Amino acid sequence: MQIKKQLAQLTPYQPGKPIEEVKREFNLKTVVKLASNENPFGYSESAKIALQSEILQMPLYPDGSSQSLRTKLAKHLGVNEMKIIFGNGADEVIQILSRSMLDSNSNTVMANPTFSQYKHNAVIEGAEVREINLLENGCHDLDLMLDAIDQQTKIVWVCSPNNPTGSYEPEQKLMRFLDQVPKHVLVVLDEAYYEYVTAEDYTETTPLLNRYPNLMILRTFSKAYGLAALRVGYGIASEQLIQAIEPARQPFNINRLAQAAALGALDDQVFIKDCVRKNREGLQQYYDFCSTHGLKYYPTQTNFILIDFNRDADELFAALLRQGYIVRSGKALGFPTSLRISVGTKEQNEGFLNTLIRML
C-alpha cells in the first residue's frame, strides 16, 4: 500500500483537551475550558426547540441541498441562495476548496501564523504553501502576500479576524488588496468570527461579491451561534464558483439536527447581540488585567485573546491545567511565550484571572 508521501509530514489536528479527561487526570471537580473559542453562553432557545422537533426524523437522510436553511440564510445575508455552499463546519468548505483547486502544480498563499487548516489541506493536495509572516500588529502583510502570487497561485487565504491574533484587516487595506489580486486567483476571506466584530472599519463583505467574482467568504455557526458540536459552516461566493465546486461536496454533509438547529438559531438575533455585548465586557476584563500587569496582547475582534506572558507557553499551559483551566498554548500556534484564551462568562474570566495572578 502507498499513502501520499506528504501525509507523513502531517499530524492529526490536536484539539483542546476534553474537560472530562482533565477532570480524571488531575482529580478535579470543576474544569473550565477556554481553549476552542466556543460560546460560553450556550446557544439559542429557538435552536433547542428546533432540535427537539427534529428528533423523530433520524431514520431519514437529510435534505442534501439544505434548502430551508439555504433560503433563510440567504435572506438573512441579503444574497442569492445559489451563492451559498454549506460545509460540515467551515473546515469542510476549506477542504472542498483545496480539493477542487489545489494540486502539485500549484501554490497557495497564506499568512503565518494563521488558522492551521489552510496549510494542512494544501499539503495533503501536494500544493506548494507560501507563508507570509504577519505584521507586528498581528495583521496580514497583504503587500508581501500580493508579491508572493504568480501564475501557479490558485488560492490566497485571508483570515479576518485572524486566528490566533484576533486582528482584522481594515476596509481600505482589504479593498486595495482585492483590487490588486489577479483574477485567476481565488481570495478566501475567512470570517469565522464575523458576528463578534465591532470595529467600525471592518468591511461588510457580502456586497463585494458582485464586484469580485474571485472572492469567497467563509462563516460558521460554530462560534457566536454556539453550535460547534453540530458542524455547520458555509461559503458565500459567485454562483458560478459555487456550482463549479459543488461536486466535491459530500451529498448529505449537513445532518438533519444541524440543519434544524441552524435554522432555529437564525431566528434569534437577540441572542447573538447579547453574546457579542457580554463578550466585549469579558474582553475588557482581560484588557484591564493586561494593563495592570504590563502584559502585551493583540487587541482582538473575536472571542479570544492572545496574551504574551514572557515565559514558556507550554509550561504555563500545564500549570493552568492542574488548576482546572484548559487554554491554548501559543507554542503550536507560532507564539511560544503566549497563551490563546477564549473569553468565558464573567465568573469564568474572574476565576481564571485570579488563578493566573496567584501563579505569576
- Are 331 and 314 a contacting pair, CB within 8 Å? yes
Q: Is residue 38 a contact residue for ligand PLP (CB under 6 A)?
A: no
Q: Is residue 159 a contact residue for ligand PLP (CB under 6 A)?
A: yes
Residue 317: beta bridge partners? none
| First-residue to last-residue Cα distance in the chain | 52
Residues in Cβ contact with 328 at an 8 Å cutoff, skipping those fewer than 6 apart:
16, 35, 36, 164, 317, 339, 340, 341, 342
Instruction: Compute the chain's Rg from CA coordinates.
Output: 20
Q: Is residue 192 a contact residue for ligand PLP (CB under 6 A)?
A: yes
| Shortest Å distance, C-beta 192 to ligand PLP | 4
Q: Is residue 189 a contact residue for ligand PLP (CB under 6 A)?
A: no
CB half-sphere exposure, 286, CA atoms < 13 A: 30
Q: Is residue 197 a contact residue for ligand PLP (CB under 6 A)?
A: no
Q: Taking CB positions, which residue lies at the least distance from ligand PLP?
A: 89
Q: Which of 38, 54, 91, 125 binds ligand PLP (CB under 6 A)?
A: 91
Residue (86 or 324) nearer to ligand PLP, CB: 86
Instruction: Please give the full DSSP string across 20-71, using - where no structure is assigned.
Output: HHHHHHHT-S--EE-SS---TT---HHHHHHHHHHGGGTTSPP-TT-HHHHH
- For 52, 68, 302, the CA distances from 55, given in Å and listed in that order, are 5, 17, 33
Q: Which of 233, 235, 264, 344 binds ligand PLP (CB under 6 A)?
A: 233
Q: Is residue 86 a contact residue for ligand PLP (CB under 6 A)?
A: no
Q: Is residue 51 a contact residue for ligand PLP (CB under 6 A)?
A: no
Q: Is residue 222 a contact residue for ligand PLP (CB under 6 A)?
A: yes
Which span (2-10, 52-60, 84-92, 342-350) binds ligand PLP, by CB under 6 A?
84-92
Q: Is residue 89 a contact residue for ligand PLP (CB under 6 A)?
A: yes
Residue (159 or 174) nearer to ligand PLP, CB: 159
Number of amino acids touching ligand PLP (CB under 6 A)? 12
- For 49, 73, 269, 272, the CA distances from 46, given in Å and listed in that order, are 5, 15, 10, 12
Q: Is residue 226 a contact residue for ligand PLP (CB under 6 A)?
A: no
| Shortest Å distance, C-beta 234 to ligand PLP | 9
Using the Cα atoms of residue 231, residue 189, residue 283 and residue 165 in order, give the sign of their dihedral: positive
Residue 132: beta bridge partners? 111
Q: What residue ranges bind ligand PLP (CB under 6 A)?
A: 89-91, 115, 159, 163, 190, 192, 220, 222, 228, 233
